[in-house]
Copies of this chain bind each other. A is one copy, B any other.
């Protein structure tokens, strides 16, 4: 290790020596100001400000047995337009965490099992107090794994298919988003609204499909206007063409990737500048092209998750351990250059 870098920072002891008070008094000024005599407090605060003293997070963590760090797995950049939603989430989480005095500690993993293993290892090493799971899916083994390892955690995403009350989570109601998108298209006069989604079986995908289905349940023949394909622009374009051939005049998609693909095919459907096409996730591409999309309130989700973390670590039971947030439909006119 490099000794040159060991800039001798002030410590409770060094500050106490200079000030002629005990270390505990300074500690109290920081953690329990109300029990210190006002004059003493002011004198100490001035000295703290002058010296630039900051309590060592390490010393504190050792004594209190709290690292105030939150583990978050970073997935490899996905090969598609989506994933941008995760950027926003990670940033929001960093902001909320910082605000409440926590730090986000990143890690990478090769698989779900590996993820649990890494989290467990970080936790056993007291590097982190708690983990945040993202991208929950049907048959997700991570919650059970973490419970077995006794690592506290919260999830961004419902425990699809499993018991929803076994742990804390926040999720966005995707079906509300697609339902709102579908009804908006119907309000525009469309009676043949198709759904361009993923193959049945994924929790998120089925949920988004369900919202569309609710909104078209009174329209006969709608079940033919439902296609499930792999995510991506090319599959989206092909499936969109098929849906139009079956008579659809408007489309709701499970992702902006699919919508991007559908864009070209749907150009003919344009009324005014707006396309009867709605994507999902409100990614930068959708904004750039002027594509309508469903916007997830990830900032809010992050804030709620950090609130739960705070409750858990302080020994409180989160008042609302499971929260479903409502997304917002963003309607846009196609960008001039894309028309």
Asked whether A5 and B337 contact (CB < 8 A) given A62-B62, A106-B94, the answer is no
- B336 near A234 (CB under 8 angstroms)? yes
- A90 near B106 (CB under 8 angstroms)? yes
- A105 near B108 (CB under 8 angstroms)? no
- B56 near A126 (CB under 8 angstroms)? yes
Q: Please tell me if A143 contacts chain B, counting CB pairs below 8 Å.
A: no
- B2 near A313 (CB under 8 angstroms)? yes
- B90 near A233 (CB under 8 angstroms)? no
A90, closest chain B residue (CB): B74
- A234 near B335 (CB under 8 angstroms)? yes
Q: Please tell me if A245 contacts chain B, counting CB pairs below 8 Å.
A: no
Asked whether A106 and B107 contact (CB < 8 A) given A87-B83, A284-B79, A289-B233, the answer is no
Sample of 14 A–B contacts (CB below 8 Å): A1-B65, A2-B315, A4-B315, A9-B124, A54-B125, A55-B125, A58-B58, A77-B88, A81-B284, A94-B106, A95-B108, A233-B288, A233-B337, A236-B337
**Which residues from chain A sit less than 8 Å from chain B, CB to CB?**
1-7, 9, 52-59, 61-62, 64-67, 69, 72, 74-81, 83-84, 86-88, 90-91, 94-95, 97-98, 103-108, 121, 124-127, 129, 150, 152, 232-234, 236-238, 257, 260-261, 264-265, 284-285, 287-289, 312-315, 335-338
